[in-house]
Structure 1
Amino acid sequence: MRTVTYNPETFDHDVEQARDWFRGRRNLLITTHLRPDGDALGSVFAATDCLRNEGIDCTPYLAESLPDDYQHYTVPGAVCGEDIDLSPFDGLLCLDCANENRLALPPNRSFDDITLPCCNIDHHIDNSRFGHVNVIHAESASTTELLATMFGKFGYPVSPAAATSLILGLVMDTGGFRFNNTTAASFRCAANLVDGGADYTHVMHSMFFNEPMELLRLKGEVFKNLKFAFDGRFVYFSLTPDLLERCGATAEMAEDLIDSVRVIRGVEITCRVQQIDDVTRFSLRSQNPDLPILEIAHKLGGGGHLLAAGATQTGITLEEAEAQLVEYVGELLAR
Structure 2
Amino acid sequence: MGINRGEVGRANRLIEESDSVVVLSHQNPDGDAFGSVLGLGLMLRGAGLNVKASWPDPVELPLKYEFLPGKELLISPADLRPQGLVIAVDCANAGRLGELEDAVLKVDNIINIDHHPDNSLFGTVNLVDAAASATTEILYEEADDLGLELDRDIAVCLYTGLVTDTGRFQFSNTSAETFRIASELVEMGAEPNRLYEEIFQGDTLSYMRLTGEMVSRAVFEPETGLVHVFMPQEELRRFGVEMNETEDLIDSLRTLRGHRIAALFKEQDDGRIRVSLRSRADTDIGTVARSLGGGGHRVAAGYTSEKGSFEEALQELKGEIVAP
How far apart, CA to CA, are the structure 1 residues paired with 2:37 and 2:98? 12
The one of 126, 134, 150 equivalent to 2:126 is: 134
* Structure-2 residue corresponding to 1:333: 323
1:42 and 2:38 equivalent? no
> 1:92 deviation in Å?
0.5
Residue 246 (structure 1) shift: 2.7
Distance 1:80 1:201, change over 3 A: farther
8 Å Cα contact 1:62/1:105 also seen in 2: no
**Secondary structure of 2:79's match?**
coil
Seen in structure 2, the aligned counterparts of structure 1 residues 189 and 152 have a Cα distance that, compared at 3 Å, is farther
Instruction: Tell me the distance in 2 between the aligned counterparts of 1:105 and 1:316.
Output: 23
2:68 paired residue among 66, 73, 80: 73
Q: In structure 1, what residue type is equivalent to 2:323?
A: L
Aligned to 1:33: 26
Q: How many residues align?
A: 320
Correspondence 1:83 to 2:117: no
- Does 1:149 find its partner at 2:141? yes
**More displaced stretch, 53-62 vs 31-40:** 53-62
Name 2:47's counterpart in structure 1: 54
Secondary structure of the 1:103 match is helix
204, 208, 211: which one aligns with 1:216: 208
Aligned counterpart in structure 1 of residue 117 of structure 2, from 101, 121, 125: 125
Give the match's secondary structure for 1:224: helix
Q: Which runs of 5+ in 1 are unaligned?
A: 1-7
Secondary structure in 1 matching 2:51: strand
Determine what percentage of the aligned residue pairs are the same residue. 32
Shift of 1:127: 0.3
TM-score (norm 2): 0.92
Retained in 1: the 8 A contact 2:2–2:131? no
1:296 Cα deviation after fit: 1.1
**Paired residue type of 2:271:** D
* Contact 1:123–1:141, Cα closer than 8 Å, also in 2: yes
Amino acid at match of 2:110: C
Any conservation in 1 of the 2:59–2:74 contact (CA below 8 Å)? no
| CA apart distance, 1:248 | 2.7
CA contact (8 A) 2:136 2:158 kept: yes
When residues 131 and 178 of structure 1 are mapped into structure 2, their CA distance, relative to the original with a 3 A threshold, is same
Q: In 2, Cα distance between the equivalents of 1:241 and 1:105? A: 22
Distance (whole Å) between structure 1 residues aligned to residue 146 and residue 31 of structure 2 = 24
**After superposition, what is the alpha-carbon deviation per residue over 1:191-222, rounded to whole angstroms, capped at 9, x for unaligned?**
00111112333211111111111111111111
| Residue 95 (structure 1) aligned with residue 62 (structure 2) | no
Q: Give the aligned partner of residue 4 of structure 1.
A: none
Distance of 1:151 and 1:43 partners within structure 2 = 12
**Mean CA deviation greater in 71-80 or 133-142:** 71-80
Equivalence for 1:244 = 236
**Structure 2 unaligned blocks of 5 or more:** none
Code of the residue aligned with 1:333 in structure 2: it is A
Give me the whole-angstrom Cα distance separating, in 2, the residues matched to 1:57 and 1:81: 17
Tell me whether 241-250 or 9-18 shows the greater mean CA deviation.
Answer: 9-18
Q: 1:193 aligns with which of 182, 185, 189?
A: 185
Mapped to 2, the partners of 1:176 and 1:150 lie a distance apart of: 23
Q: TM-score, normalised by structure 1?
A: 0.90
- What residue number does 1:5 align with? none
Alpha-carbon distance, 1:333 to partner: 2.6
Distance 1:201 1:80, change over 3 A: farther
Aligned partner of residue 167 in structure 1, secondary structure: helix
Deviations 1:118-158 (A, max 9, x none): 00000000000000000111111110011000114445320
DSSP 3-state at the match of 1:50: helix
- Give the secondary structure class of the aligned counterpart of 2:230: strand
Check conservation: 2:86, 2:107, Cα contact below 8 A.
no
Is contact 1:11–1:137 with CA below 8 Å preserved after alignment?
no
Would the aligned equivalents of 1:94 and 1:119 in 2 still touch at CA under 8 Å? yes
Amino acid aligned to 1:257: L
Q: Hey, what does 1:184 align to over in structure 2?
A: 176
Give 1:49 deviation, angstroms. Answer: 0.8
Task: Read off the aligned partner of 1:91 and give its amino acid letter.
Answer: L
- The aligned counterpart of 1:166 is 158
Q: 1:304: which partner in 2?
A: 296
Opposite residue 68 of structure 2, the aligned amino acid is Y
Aligned-pair distance for 1:320?
Answer: 0.3
Amino acid at match of 1:70: Y
State the AA in 1 paired with 2:132. S
Q: Is the 8 A contact 2:9 2:145 kept in 1?
A: no
